[in-house]
Structures are given as structure tokens and as C-alpha cells.
Structure 1
Amino acid sequence: MDESVSELTFKDKTAMQPLIGFAIIIALVAFGFYLSTLKDILPLHLFAGILLGYILTRARFGFAGGIKRIYMRGEGSLSKALLLLLLVTSIVIMGIQWAAASNGAIPAYLATNGQAVIPGTTNVYFTNIATVFGGFIFGVGMMLAGGCGSGTLADFGEGSGRAMIAFVFFVIGAAPGHYARQVIDKTAVGKIGFQIHLPQIMGYFGALLLTAVLLGFLYWGVLAYENMRKQQGTYLDPKGDYEDFELPLKDVKEPGFFNSKVYHKLFIERWSFTFGALALAIMAIFVLVTTGKNWGVSTALVTWHVAFLDMLGIQLPAEYFQSHIDKVQAGLLNDGGTIRNIGLIVGSALSFLLAKRFAFDFKMSKKDMFYFALGGLLLGFGSRVGLGCNIGAMYAAISSFSASGWVFLLSMSLGGIVGMKLFVGQVSILPVPIHKK
């Protein structure tokens, strides 16, 4: 086929994508009105999910990339943005929690019936061997799957066949991981651990100061590693992986207010990791303020797995899955976590549609498909053994001053590093990095 004809056909198809995107936005408004008839809070979950997905995709922001990118490229622009995200969120949540505590609220794990709970403290988890094991398994999984919990959902929305495979197995691995965590917690070894909300030990200002010092230490580590890679000559430009169309338009002069340059700025030009971090912080805080709980991803996937098994006539033991069984019986559309995850997927799709770059990508070998599926299983299993993914068990936990978040972060990072070293060069998304060639 003539290349010019092929290119014209592609442009014709992509030209329709913004119209499809705006049509979806109208449909989402209608869907939001419907959700409001079920529960008043549900449209807020949908709104938050859409914006979270849009931000993740528009900034090409991913938590797994904070580990993978610096190893592969030698530059820590995303790693530093993640540390900024944690710091900014922690500062705001300190104020929210401090205000609640001054009015008599207490951490969720200390509260009894009727007592007010400090927002965000449901992510102050009991930390034991399962936290370490779950974080490590999750870290390996996100390297094979090509994304973390939120990243897999965002990539799904972008049309990635890799993410669609990983997502299916993410869900399949969630319920077994949920079961395994509860079994471990009942063993003698599983009962060895701690549950610490840092402000209960050192006050809110002290907890924030400790968090800032630890984040500063990690920031220094990123800078030191970057300098080493620069000296090796294996440091790559932070924007070296940008597509040409993601860069700002230059020397384009058109009449009118809403011209192609303005559209490019509003919908196509890639956001910086720093801007993405600040935008995500705003939305994560929005979720906490409007719902009283932190942003999470993987808990809802356990409910989806339970719902799927229920459709097949398979009943899971209520002793371990009662809360998820209740959600299934009430209807998945009544579950805020489900609605937010759906919104995240759609928000990511909207970002690509409005940028005229949405496309399904199923180009992969059978070997890669196996690794993507394995990565998804490890994501699902590890996230629930660790009581959360990169969002609930790490980001939300650290910014809510839970000691468990730091343990999960270290375990997840170690798992990610081991995953890259074990599988580099064996799967398409883990090519041999420049400093190893």
C-alpha cells in the first residue's frame, strides 16, 4: 500500500478520537448522575478515578518506573518526583490528622465502636513477615507486568495488550493473596510484628520531620546514583524518551484563540513528572477528604475476583471473604473502590483519545504473554499478602505516617531490583540497560 495513503488513513482515524473522547465525557456525566441515585458519594469516586487516570497517563507517571527508569536510564527524574509526591501529601495529611486528633479522633486500629477515627489511619497496617514477603513479590511482579497496581490500570486504559493480560491475572491473584495473608497472620510467626502510627510516638511534627528526613536521604541516594552513571557515561537525558509530538510546539503561528497550538498545549503536550506528582497529590488528598479513606487500588480487585467466582457458582469461605461477599451481594456499582478503578481506566483512555494517540497494542510474543500473566499474578498475590499495592501499602501508608509503608517500600524496591536482574533481556519490556551492554 502507498505509504501516503496509509498515513492519511491513520490520520483520519485519529482525527475522530477527540470526538469519541468528548462523547465519553458526556456519557460519564450521565453515568455519574445514575451513580448518585445509588449513593451520593459514588460520583466523587468516579470523578477522582477519572482525574487520577488522566494524570497518570498525561504525565507518563508510574510508581514502578521510579525503580525501573533509574536502573535502565541512569536518571532519577521520576524517582525524585515520587519522593516529592510523598512529601507534599504527608504535609497536608499531617494537618488533616492533627486537626482530627485534636478533636478526639484516634487511629483506626485503636478505635472501638462509636469512636471517631483519624482520616487515613486505616492504612496503618500490622507489619510482619507477610508485609515483607508481599512487598517483595509485588516488586518482582511489577517488573514483569510492566507496571504497578495503578500503572497496570492506566496502561489498560491506554489500550496496552500487555496490561490487559497482566490485569486479568492481577485480579486472579488477588483473592488467593487475601486468603494467604489471613492465614499467615494466624500463625505464630505471623503474630510477630508491630503496628505503629508514628505521631502516637513522636507527635505529628516529629512524624513529619522523620518522614522528611527519610525522603531526603532517598533523594540524596538518587542524586548519588545519577552522578555515578554520569561518570560512567550511561546517564540519559530525562526527556530523551519523549515522543516528538509530546514536546511543546515551536514556531507555530495561527490566528484565533483555540487553535492547534492551544489544543496541543491543553491535551497533547506531555506533563513533567514534577507536575504529575503535584497533581496526583491533590487528587489523593481529595479522595481522603471526601471519603475519609486513602486512595487504594487492589482491595477492589479482590471483590472483582469474588464476584467472578460467584458467577461461576463458586462460594468462597465467609470466614475470610465476608466483607467482599457483602459488596458483591450489594452490587459492584455500589462499591466506591470499584467505581474509582473504572474511572481510572477510563481517565487514562480519555488522555490518549484527546491526544489523538489511542491504539490497541497486542504485538507480543507468546513468551512475553507468559511473563505478563506471571507478573499480573504476582501483582495480585503480593499486593494482598502485603495488604496493598504501591498505592495503599506504600504511598498512602507512608503519607499517613504508618511504619508499615516504609517496610513495604523497601521490600517492593528490593523485589523490583531482583526482578530486573533476573529477567532483564528475557522479556521485551526489560531490555538490557545501557550500562550493562
Structure 2
Amino acid sequence: MNTLASSSIAAPGEPAAPSRATPAVPAVASSAWQRRLPLSLAIAALFGWLLWSVSARQALLLLVGVGLGATLAAARFGFTTGWRVLVEKRDPSGVYGQIVLLGLLAALSMPIVSHYAETTAALGPLSVSLLVGAFVFGLCMQVADGCGSGTLYKAGLGVPLNMAVLPMFVLGSFVGSVQLNDWLALGALPAVGLVQRWGMGGALAATLAGLVVVTWIIGRWSGQPFNVRRIPRRWLWGALALAVFAALNLFIAGQPWGIVYGFGLWGAKAATALGVFDPTANAFWSDPGHAERLRETLLLDVTSITNIGILAGALWVAAGRQQTAKSLSGTQWLIGLVAGFLLGYSSRLAFGCNVGAMVSGISTGSVHGWVWVPLAFAGTLVGLRVRRRFF
């Protein structure tokens, strides 16, 4: 590009040479695809190996994860950014995009949960841990510049802070799972599922009505009522693609799209392998279902395989782009890493992040998702102050 740019600048007294920028576009596109080719072959090879050696379900879920990661990265569909721009600039475009995602996904997911007994909703108990975890998560996602999905896809894009936050998120999720039962002992009510209580029609009507009310409140506060024509296309096509892939995840895996459990499992496996953790002595990991996943390969865990796919999908998008990163001070790195640990810890207490609690919770009719949102948003208001102070 520098050669082309310099060749279009005329010497003094000479007429300007015709611009050659246009012919360079195909070359740039070709170069991007060349950089993506090795990763594409690696993804295809992993898909084939999973299909042959593990199961068709896991192979398909890998592709679902790749689609989720590529969509998140290409559309820059950031839940954290959408909330931050709403508060700081009173621009609701990103949040409107998230509301579109919730409405579309609810319309796809609730019929699946209602008609297929083998599928489950993303239910979480109404607990003290939910209240604390959602608030802390909302605070820390602004400091670490990413929620669960944001950390994954930005790590795949090669953003240094998010790459460093990811292992801290894993560690925090593991520690949170170890201590979850102690938090639940502080007080918890049973999970409430709208589909189970009101049926698919009633649950979907109530969910869409709730989203309309939230949209109206945001429009009144921001001074920008909902108008689909004013929402940037990346938020709209991103919402549509994410809704389709998340619904496919529910149909294929039998459970909604999640992220946090996979992180906790990675941490538990690492701690067990190092001999620093005895899962049989812990209430969470001695549960038969969790103990079985801990014994099995990660490639059999549905959340882990989609997480791997998200990283691969984001990395595929990054391979065709030139990435820039802002340098950080030592203090900023330290704060970011602490925030990453607390992201993992708090998301486990809250039974999910923006994906597991908000997107999957609300779209499958879990009341805990509706509780999570205002508490996480309150935490975001505090987190933005911390972000402005240190970043």
C-alpha cells in the first residue's frame, strides 16, 4: 500500500499520475484469503476428526462456535461496548441491536424448549450469589473491556489485554465454581422458567412485551426512539446471525449457548492434573454430572467445543485484518488482570455472563436473566467510573 500511495504523488511541476488504489483491492483481498487458508484447513481437519472420532454433534457444534466467533468479530458485536456507548454517549444503537437479538432468539428458542423434552432452558436460581455476581460482573466487564463472549473473540482477534484476561477469567470461573455452594447457602430461591409455567405462547408474549418496555425506556432516556433504519447494519446482521447460531446450538446440544461453564471446567481440569485440587471433596465438582465432564476429554463438553470454535472463528476474521493495540501501563495491566479474575468468579456466582445469563436466560424464559440485567447495568455504571479513572 505504501508503494501504491507514493507512486500516485507527482513530482513538482509534473501532472499527478492516475491513482492505482482501485487495482490494489483484489490483491489485498487475495492476501487476506491466503492468510486465512491455513486456519481454514485446520478448522476443516478438526471438524473431520471430531466427526470421525468423537461425534457428529461435537463436529457440528464446532462449526456453530466458529460461526458465533466470526460473527462477533466481524460485526464487532460487543455487549460491553453497547452498554458503554449508551451510558457515555446516549447512543442506544448497540443496545437496540442486543434487544433485536433477544427477541429473535426468544422466537426461535422457546418453541424448541417447549416441543423437545431433551432440551433445557438456561435456568438459574434467584439467589444472593446472583445479586452479587451480576453487579460485580457488570463492573468488571467495563474495566476488562469484555464480557465472556467479548473476551473470547477479542482474544481471538489478538487484543493483548483480552488475551491476558482469558486465563484469569478461566481461573476465576474455576474458583467461583468451587465456592458456589457456600454462596448458595446464604440464600436462594428455586429457578423460575416461564416456558414451564406459562407455556411457549405465554412465555414468548411476556418476553417480547418486556423487551418492548425496555426499548421504550431506553428511547425516552436517550432521546432516540427505536428506529430500525437508524441502527447500524453490523448490529442488525450480527443480531440475526447470532440468533440463528445460538438457536442451532440449543437444537444440536440440547442446551442454550453458554461460555462460563467451559472456562470453569478448563480450570478444574488443570488444577486436578496439577494435583492441587481434589474434586471429590468439593460439592460442585463431585456432583455426578460435573464429575463425569471432569473425567471426559474436553472435546466431549458442548460448552468447551463452542468456546474453541469462537476463538477459531475470531482468529479467522483476524487473519484477514491488520490489528492495532494500545499500549498499557503496569497499573492498567494489573487492574485488567484482577478484573479478569473477578469476571470469571462473578459470572459463576451469577449463573452466566451476558451470554449465559442475559441472552440465553431471557431467550429461554429464565427469570434470573431479567434479574441479572439491571444489576449488571448498575455495576456497569460503577465500572465506567473506574475505567475513566485508570484507562
Would the TM-score normalized by the shorter structure come out above 0.5? Answer: yes
C-alpha deviation, 1:7, in angstroms = 8.6
TM alignment of 1:24-423, pairs within 5 A: 24-36=39-51, 37-100=53-116, 105=117, 117=118, 119-121=119-121, 123-185=122-184, 187=185, 189-191=186-188, 193-227=189-223, 272-318=234-280, 319=282, 320-322=284-286, 323-353=289-319, 356-359=320-323, 361=325, 363-421=327-385, 423=386
Aligned length in residues: 363
Q: Is the 8 A contact 2:168 2:337 kept in 1?
A: yes
Partner Cα separation in structure 2 for residue 334 and residue 228 of structure 1: 46
Partner Cα separation in structure 2 for residue 416 and residue 170 of structure 1: 18
Question: Which moves more between the two structures, 61-70 or 318-327?
Answer: 318-327
Q: Is the 8 A contact 1:303 1:325 kept in 2?
A: no
Partner Cα separation in structure 2 for residue 228 and residue 342 of structure 1: 38
Identity of aligned residues (%): 27
Partner Cα separation in structure 2 for residue 275 and residue 65 of structure 1: 17
| Matched AA of 1:120 | T
Indicate how the Cα distance of structure 1 residues 215 and 238 shifts in structure 2: closer, same or farther if over 3 A, else same.
closer
Partner Cα separation in structure 2 for residue 410 and residue 124 of structure 1: 17
| Matched AA of 1:389 | C
Q: What residue number does 1:21 align with?
A: 36
Partner Cα separation in structure 1 for residue 4 and residue 274 of structure 2: 45
Partner Cα separation in structure 2 for residue 139 and residue 19 of structure 1: 39
Partner Cα separation in structure 1 for residue 139 and residue 241 of structure 2: 28
TM-score with structure 1 length normalisation? Answer: 0.77
Partner Cα separation in structure 1 for residue 231 and residue 98 of structure 2: 15
TM-score with structure 2 length normalisation? Answer: 0.86
Q: Secondary structure at the match of 1:272?
A: helix
Indicate how the Cα distance of structure 1 residues 138 and 21 shifts in structure 2: closer, same or farther if over 3 A, else same.
same
Q: Is the 8 A contact 2:114 2:199 kept in 1?
A: no
Q: What is the Cα-based RMSD across aligned positions, in Å?
A: 2.5
C-alpha deviation, 1:347, in angstroms = 0.4
| Matched AA of 1:79 | V
More helix by share: 2
Unaligned 5+ segments in structure 1 are: 106-116, 230-236, 240-270, 429-437
Q: Is the 8 A contact 2:195 2:364 kept in 1?
A: no
Unaligned 5+ segments in structure 2 are: 7-23
Partner Cα separation in structure 2 for residue 359 and residue 126 of structure 1: 41
Indicate how the Cα distance of structure 1 residues 33 and 404 shifts in structure 2: closer, same or farther if over 3 A, else same.
same
Q: Is the 8 A contact 2:92 2:224 kept in 1?
A: no
